[in-house]
Amino acid sequence: MRAFIFPGQGSQSVGMGKALSEASTVAREVFQEVDDALGQRLFRIMTEGPEDQLTLTENAQPAIMANAIATLRVLEKEGGIRLADKAGFVAGHSLGEYSALCAAGALDLATTARLLKLRGQAMQAAVPVGVGAMAALLGADIEKAQGLADAAAQGEVCTVANDNDPSQVVISGHRGAIERAIELVKDHGIKRGILLPVSAPFHCPLMQPAADAMAQALADAALQAPLVPVYANVTAAPVADAETIKALLVEQVTGRVRWRESVVAMFDNGVHEFVEFGGKVLAPMVKRSAQDANATSVISMDDIEALMKGL
């Protein structure tokens, strides 16, 4: 069985989508539809920069989604392939969960773009710049990371935000607590702690104002049951009920991205092939979490054509 997976924030880069749009009318239509939905020239920022504009959370989130969905749409339309025939499940890392839901027909493209724009704005506004921080812990499993977060908190927020794979966990919270955690890594048997260049402390309780904003937006959004179940970040379990999906997307803003657990659960459920669309971040994580799985990143037309032959 196969799962289609979609990357999260950090996978953006200036020039993204340019070659694909030049090679495919289908891709150009996706980028134009996103621009129209947002009322901005996001595709120009994606292809030309400047980089600081692309990395703004409110731009990066819809941009990463647009690039992933364009890649998938080219495969579907030019390859005559239906997602439901080729994938048993979909999943995405953080904002990638929205891409996964769009891919599986639960959200239309314009709605997905607008929700991610709002999500980015709400997450940025939830915490004043400089108050929060995030750090990647290298050589840390979930138990070591949790122990470190508990020790560093000292009355502030310090929690596991992303359980990415057996060797990488990300923590999030108040800047002081995250800085303390980095100083304490060796005491907890962790190789290294690296402060991440992010503008807000995602996936921790400090994001509650953003969760409230998304609860309101999702309540009004048209969301259908997906064509195939989506593995939700916060439960690491498949879900196909529209109202449950909405509730989990709200919970996801402050909750842990249980990516490692999701990959292991999918593998245990018979998924032995993972195809990442629009990025090359998740495939290596998959291989570290489920070593016997096949994981492929699909970005270029060459990648798409190679995948067509293998499906």
Q: CA-CA distance, 184 to 195, in Å (whole number)? A: 13
**Amino acid letter, 100:** A
The predicted pLDDT at position 225 comes to: 97
* Domain boundaries 2-126+206-310, corresponding CATH code: 3.40.366.10
Over the chain, what is the mean pLDDT?
97
0.85 exceeded by pTM: yes
The predicted pLDDT at position 184 comes to: 97
The predicted pLDDT at position 107 comes to: 98
Spatial contact of 65 and 116, defined as CB atoms under 8 Å apart: yes
What is the DSSP secondary structure assignment for residue 257, as one 8-state letter? B
- Tens digit of each residue's pLDDT (9 = 90 or more) over 192-249: 999 998 889 999 999 999 999 999 999 999 999 999 999 999 999 999 999 999 999 9
Distances (CA, A) of 197 to 9, 88, 200, 257: 11, 35, 9, 18
The predicted pLDDT at position 48 comes to: 96
How many Cβ atoms from other residues are within 10 Å of residue 310's Cβ?
10
The predicted pLDDT at position 106 comes to: 98
Spatial contact of 189 and 167, defined as CB atoms under 8 Å apart: no
132-198 fold: Alpha-Beta Plaits (3.30.70)
Compute the C-alpha angle 158/160/163, nearest 5°.
165
Residues catalogued as catalytic: 94, 203
The predicted pLDDT at position 186 comes to: 97
Distances (CA, A) of 49 to 21, 44, 55: 16, 7, 9
Distances (CA, A) of 158 to 108, 119, 154, 174, 206: 35, 22, 9, 7, 10
Q: CA-CA distance, 189 to 185, in Å (whole number)? A: 7
Q: Which residue ranges of the chain lie beneath pLDDT 50?
A: none
The predicted pLDDT at position 129 comes to: 87
Can you give the residue ranges of every domain in the chain?
2-126+206-310, 132-198
Pull the structure tokens for residue 152: 């560093």
